[in-house]
Amino acid sequence: MSLVNNTQDDSILSLGIAGMTPGVEALVSSGQLEPLEYLMRHLQGDWGDLCEEDRQTNADALIYGNRVLSSYNLPDGQCLWIITEANRSITTLLLPEEY
């Protein structure tokens, strides 16, 4: 399922085409997750609940064109990952167990 195919003026990376895995789609369909809130955070460089080493990896990825990962702890205790591929062609919202 495609969510967005553009970027906002305040984004720090290109999104490409955004999509979600079946697990995330189930959370969205049941009203347990609003994906755009997390997608916008990802695009603005709010990587969520990452350790300092992973934050530095993302900072380097912005310079060298590598994959970017965000991780958000959801209110229900689940975790949401957002991954933008190195070539910035696609961004995927997924649950860790779907990786």
Is the model's pLDDT at 34 over the cut of 70?
yes
Contacts of 2 (CB under 8 A, 6+ apart): 17, 18, 19
> What's the whole-number mean pLDDT along residues 20-27?
98
pTM of the model as a whole: 0.90
Question: Which ranges constitute the DSSP H helices of 1-99?
Answer: 22-29, 35-43, 52-64
Q: CB–CB of 43/13 below 8 Å?
A: yes
Domain limits, the chain: 17-94
Is the model's pLDDT at 19 over the cut of 60?
yes
- The pLDDT value given to residue 9: 59
